[in-house]
Amino acid sequence: MKQIEFLFFRYYKSQCRLGNSDIAPFSAILIISFSIMLYYFSAFFYIITILPDIEINKTCFTTITFLFLFFLIILFYLLLVYKGKYKKIIKSHENELFNKFSVWPILIPLMGFILFNVGWILKMLQNQGRF
Instruction: Measure the CA dihedral 102/108/114/117, to 10°.
Output: -150
pLDDT of res. 76: 95
Provide the sign of the torsion angle of the four alpha carbons 9, 13, 15, 21, taken in this order. Answer: positive
Residue ranges for the chain with pLDDT beneath 50? none
- Pick the closest to residue 27 from 76, 70, 94, 68 (CA basis): 76
- Domain that includes residue 26, residue range: 2-128
Helix (H) or strand (E) holding 27: helix 24-50
* Contact status, residue 35 vs residue 109, Cβ threshold 8 Å: yes
pLDDT of res. 99: 54
pLDDT of res. 100: 67
Amino acid letter at 88?
K
> Which pTM does this prediction carry?
0.86
Domain count, the chain: 1
* Contact status, residue 7 vs residue 82, Cβ threshold 8 Å: no
d(CA 8, CA 127): 39
